Each structure stands twice: as C-alpha cells, then as structure tokens.
C-alpha cells in the first residue's frame, strides 16, 4: 500500500462493529471507509473458521473497490453447546435474524444449563489485505473469556453483550462504557495486534 493510498475499506455492514472499529482505528491515521459507501453487500460467509470468513470478506471488498481492505469475523462460542453458535453467531436464529432473535434463542438453549457451566468466549479474527491478491495477508486473532447470565442487562454494545460477563468482571458488556469494552474485547485486542503488524509492514515498504 503506498502512502497516497492510505484509504482502507472496512468490510463490514454490522453497525455495532463499525462503530467500535472506527473508534479503534481513529489513531492509525488511515482513512477508513465502510463498504456500504461503495454499495457493496457482504459476501456469503462460507468458511468454517473465523479466519477463513474474515479473508473472504476482506478479499471481496478489496476486489470491488481496488483499495486495501480490513475485515473481521467474530462470534460467541458456548461450551455447553459444543462451541455454537460460533461462526454462525450472526445467523444463529436464521438468515435475517436480529440481535434480539439470536439472544433469545441462546437464552432458550441455555435454560437448563447450570450457572457454573455457562462458560463462553468471544472470538475475533481480523484480516488486512493490501489488494485482492495480496500474497501475505496480515492476520490477527484474540478471544475474550466469560460467562453467560440468564437475564439480559444493559443497553450498550450489541449482539450477545447483554448476557456476557467477562472473566474478572461483574458487569455485562452491555453495562460497560464503550471505552472499557474496546480496551478489553476480543475485537479491540485483535485489532491492536493487527495494528502492530500493519505498522511494521508500512515501515518496511
Ligand atoms: P460476523 O459479522 O459474521 O462477524 O458476526 C458477528 C456476530 O457475532 C455478531 O452479529 C454477534 O452476534 C456476535 N458478536 C461478535 N462480536 C460481538 C461482540 O463484541 N458483542 C456481541 N456480540 C458479538
């Protein structure tokens, strides 16, 4: 990526993630443009891992815009459900499910699970490609361990945040200030790793 091409398309249509990633990327000095600005729809997420899906999304956005692209793929793995909803987190209750639908389905699935067995983790894979055929995509991943409470609490964040209490915390993520979530979260820490790799790559070009 040349310095004149410091525009990066963000391959996400999820407004909660866009808000978080824009705040996290602000200090990087790159101009981040959501793919919606280019009329790009998200491609089908056909991968079986978070990394595969993030690569699919980043390459798709880079192909359609001829810009560098950044994508993340994330989800919640629930131990009592054998890792579900995992890569299907956004579509857990159906193809066009809302966050509310997904949350309700998960609460229903966990109704008979004891408190001590409601362990879960958020996972995030973050990918940067400088072009659609970038031979060395930058890939970073992080997870965030926690437990799931039985009744939703708080109005912040998005997705499963009203029932996710991170390890060592007492508040759900939806009850935390956004800055605290960004400092601790799977997405915030994956992005910090990616930012370090990106800084190294930009310095070496
Ligand atoms: P993706 O857009 O395919 O990466 O799907 C991500 C989905 O995982 C979201 O729609 C949420 O259901 C869930 N998810 C990922 N990260 C978070 C988070 O930080 N808070 C709450 N839910 C999340």
- The pLDDT tens digits along the chain (205 residues) read 444 437 899 998 777 777 777 777 777 777 788 899 999 988 999 999 999 999 999 999 999 999 999 999 999 999 999 999 999 999 999 999 999 999 999 999 999 999 999 999 999 999 999 999 999 999 999 999 999 999 999 999 999 999 999 999 999 999 999 999 999 999 999 989 998 898 787 676 6
Residues 102 and 108: their CA atoms lie apart, in Å, by 10
Active site residue 73: yes
Report the nearest-CA residue for atom 15 of ligand 1.
Answer: 75
Taking the centre of ligand 1 as the mean of its atom positions, its distance from the CA of residue 161, in whole angstroms, is 9
The pLDDT value given to residue 31:
78
Cα gap 196→134, rounded to integer Å: 18
Q: Is 142 left (phi over 0), alpha (psi -120 to 50) or beta?
A: beta
Domain encompassing residue 32: 3-203
At residue 25, the pLDDT reads: 72
DSSP state of 89: G
CA 19 to chain CA centroid, Å, is: 11
Name the residue with the closest Cα to ligand 1, atom 23. 159
Q: What is the pLDDT of residue 183?
A: 92
Q: How far apart are CA 45 and CA 43, in angstroms?
A: 6
CB atoms within 10 A of CB 56: 20
Question: In this predicted structure, what is the pLDDT of residue 205?
Answer: 63
Record the pTM. 0.91
Check which CATH number belongs to the domain holding 173 and give it.
3.90.950.10
Alpha-carbon separation of residue 81 from 6, 117, 118, 143 (angstroms): 42, 10, 9, 17
Q: What is the pLDDT of residue 41?
A: 87
Q: What are the Cα distances from residue 114, in Å, to 81, 111, 117, 120, 121?
A: 13, 8, 5, 13, 17
Rounded to the nearest angstrom, the distance between the alpha carbon of 75 and the centre of ligand 1 is 5
Count the Cβ atoms, other than its own, within 10 Å of residue 162. Answer: 22
For residue 131, CA distances in Å to 15, 39, 141, 183 come to: 24, 19, 20, 29
- Provide residues with CB under 6 Å of ligand 1: 14, 45, 73-76, 89-90, 102, 122, 157-161, 185, 187
DSSP element (H, E) containing 104? helix 99-109
pLDDT of 110 reads: 97
Q: Which of 37, 72, 73, 133 is flagged as catalytic?
A: 73
Q: Cβ–Cβ contacts within 10 Å for residue 31, how many? A: 12
Nearest-atom index, ligand 1, CA of 50:
4
Question: What pLDDT sits at residue 4?
Answer: 40
Structural domain tally of the chain? 1
Tell me what pLDDT residue 2 has. Answer: 44
Q: What pLDDT sits at residue 94? A: 96
């Amino acid at each position: 990526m040349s310095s004149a091409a410091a525009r990066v398309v963000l391959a996400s249509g999820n407004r909660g993630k866009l808000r978080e990633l824009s705040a996290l990327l602000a200090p990087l000095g790159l101009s981040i443009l959501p793919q919606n600005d280019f009329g790009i729809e998200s491609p089908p997420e056909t991968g079986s891992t978070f990394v595969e899906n993030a690569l699919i999304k980043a390459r798709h956005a880079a192909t359609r815009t001829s810009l560098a692209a950044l994508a993340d793929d994330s989800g919640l793995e629930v131990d009592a459900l054998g890792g579900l909803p995992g890569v299907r987190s956004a579509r857990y209750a159906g193809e066009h499910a809302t966050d509310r639908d997904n949350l309700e389905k998960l609460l229903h699935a966990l109704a008979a699970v004891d408190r001590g067995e409601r362990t879960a983790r958020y996972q995030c894979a973050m990918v940067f490609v400088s072009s659609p055929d970038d031979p060395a995509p930058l890939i970073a991943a992080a997870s965030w361990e926690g437990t799931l409470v039985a009744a939703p609490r708080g109005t912040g964040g998005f997705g499963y945040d009203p029932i996710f209490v991170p390890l060592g915390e007492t508040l759900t993520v939806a009850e935390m200030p956004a800055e605290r979530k960004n400092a601790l979260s799977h997405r915030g820490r994956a992005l910090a790793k990616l930012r370090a790799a990106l800084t190294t790559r930009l310095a070496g070009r």
